Amino acid sequence: MLGVFRYSQRAMALVWQTSPKLTIGLAVLTLIAGVLPAAMAYVGQLIVDAVVAAIDQYKQHGNIEYFPVLFYVLIEAGLVLIVSASQRGLVALQAILRALLGQRVNMMIMEKAQTLTLANFEDSEFYDKLVRARREASSRPLALVNKTFSLLQNGISLISFAVLLWQFSPWALTLLILGALPAFVAEAKFSGDAFMLARWRSPEVRQQNYLETLLAREDHIKEVRLYQLGARFLRHYQSIFVRLFSENKRLIIRREVWGFTLGIISTAVFYGAYGWIVTSTVIGAITLGQMTMYLLLFKQGQGAVASSLTSISGMYEDNLYLSNLYEYLEQPTLTIKAGAVSGPKQGDGIRFENVSFTYPGSNQAALKHISLHIKPGCSLAIVGQNGSGKTTLIKLLTRLYSPTEGRILLDGLDLREWDEQALLTRIGVIFQDFVRYQFIVGENIGAGDDERFDDEQGWRNAAELGKATDFIDDLSDGYQTQLGRWFKDGQELSGGQWQKIALARAFMREKADILVLDEPTAAMDAAAEADIFEHFQEHTRHKMAILISHRFSTVRLANEIIVMEHGSIQERGTHHSLLSLKGHYAKLFELQAKGYQ
């Protein structure tokens, strides 16, 4: 039941860390806004009693005593002013905090993302947490804090009402508390149920979100429309909704029926006490002023109870968000220890020593007992069927994953012992699914070297090496042309043109001496690919070049070729030695050569 407060403390800590001053301001104003209603009710009593006394005075002595009555009215007016100032202040502080907090939470989310491993991103549940954490980062934490503060404010009001009511009768107070309690308990219970329900359902909601993406995103709509999948996906979307909705509806109805039934108890107790106060006034046990005050306290008390219930019922959603946010932020990450910036055997190159690897959650090894040696100045081509482990090998080499068995050495030092920065500056890689940055052309190339991100001459040189200058010069704004469709005037490129940009990006990484091309030229024709690789080799003479390709016309140019199958190296050698082996490579080469005849 107390689950609704589960994350209030953490949300509060977050707000405090964002701005202690604003938090104190918020707390002070909440306190003021909480106490003032009781103070106003008390002044109301003083006014009525003063008016009654003034009437008596006038009847008995014929003179009018203005002072106390108008004085109290003035005080009440002053209190109203303070109420309105504190409410405005609360709204202003909340708005300022919302902006600061949203930025802070977003920064926390994205900074955390930088420390995660690729395996984290490939875990669907975890990735979903990240997406959801980001989506509502600017509103949820503050909403929870606001509701917690509003509960506090109403709590303070209720306590101050209780202090005044105590003077009328401790019994009346006890009765009112007992009357309101069931409604509170029910609201908290149902909010908790809704919280659990929403958590359990997150896989279905995730499916729904995915279908929304398929049905309404530019990059998917093309295929969905052509395969006429729209109606099927919509039906699926609707069926998930119907299933979720029926559970939801049941909870909503139960919640409201119970809320109403238990609300009747509170109302009955409330009006019982109301009658008691009125009769006490008639028999002269309390003054007319006191009656006014008590009735006001009762009315406002009921309002405070109602608004507390609303706060509680909204809190579960905020809790859900925060639980998700904290689960994401607390995901354990590898602590990056400072490693070495060079190896003991300079110039030894890359060695794979009996490396095996199984993806987390998989029961099949993607790589089995791989041993390799690539020396500076050498190029290695990797061929093999789809799924044979080529990309996985690159992921291990770039330390996106670590071997489950064996080790990979660079200059005689295990990759795990390298300083991450030092290691990464030595590697330039283009994956099959390289990023198409929605930046200008130049920045798309400059992204290859952070230090030279804006270096225009650097862009041009790299573009030259990537054979991208021809079409860049034809673009309306040359290197300043905005690419992609996300932003105004963005220009879309063809698949092959994007690949040339990606190649240029790899060439931008001048300091890198390990260059990896994982099928980056698949969208180019065979001649262009061979041309680019030849060119690539020329410009990477003292470097280590690794190429994954299905095209033998390119592969044949490499110093060494390995043929992979089911995660193992099946054949290795030069183009000629492999041809004379008359094995798998030779067969595939002939097949492809026939295709080109």
Which residue ranges make up the site for ligand ATP (CB under 6 A)?
A: 122, 359, 362, 366, 384, 386-392
Instruction: Tell me the closest approach of the beta carbon of residue 502 to ligand ATP, in angstroms.
Output: 16
Question: Half-sphere exposure of 342 toward its Cβ, with a 13 Å CA cutoff?
Answer: 4
554 phi, psi to nearest 5 deg:
-85, -45
Residue 64's SS3 state is coil
Is residue 108 within 8 Å of 138, Cβ to Cβ?
Answer: no
386: closest CA among 432, 453, 322, 340? 432
CB of 518 to ligand ATP, least distance (A): 7
Residue 129 CB, nearest approach to ligand ATP (Å): 18
Choice between 60 and 386, CB closer to ligand ATP: 386
Query: What is the smallest separation between the CB atom of 545 and ligand ATP, expressed in angstroms?
Result: 17
Strand partners, 427: 514
Q: Which is nearer to ligand ATP, 386 or 476 (CB)?
A: 386
For the residues of 88-118, what is the DSSP string, one character each?
HHHHHHHHHHHHHHHHHHHHHHHHHHHH--H
Asked whether 269 and 179 are in contact (CB, 8 A), the reply is yes
Min dist. Cβ of residue 387 to ligand ATP (A): 4
- Of residues 303 and 360, the one with the C-beta less far from ligand ATP: 360
Residue 127 or 359 with smaller CB distance to ligand ATP: 359
Q: Quick one: 248 or 391, whose CB is closer to ligand ATP?
A: 391
CA-to-CA distance for 80 and 48, rounded, in angstroms? Answer: 17
The nearer residue to ligand ATP, 461 or 568, going by C-beta atoms, is 568
The distance of closest approach from Cβ of residue 501 to ligand ATP in the complex, given in angstroms and rounded to an integer, is 21
Question: Where in 209-300 does DSSP place strands (E)?
Answer: none
Question: Which of 389, 520 has the CB closer to ligand ATP?
Answer: 389
- Give the β-pairing of 560-565 and 379-384: parallel
Q: What is the smallest separation between the CB atom of 519 and ligand ATP, expressed in angstroms?
A: 7
| Residue 406 region by backbone torsions, left for phi larger than 0, else alpha for psi between -120 and 50, else beta | left
Shortest distance in whole angstroms from residue 392 CB to ligand ATP:
3
CA distance 135 to 137: 6
User: What tokens appear for 197 in the block?
Assistant: 């329900």
Q: CA 261 from chain center: how many Å? A: 40
Q: Which is nearer to ligand ATP, 138 or 392 (CB)?
A: 392
Under DSSP, the state recorded for 384 is E
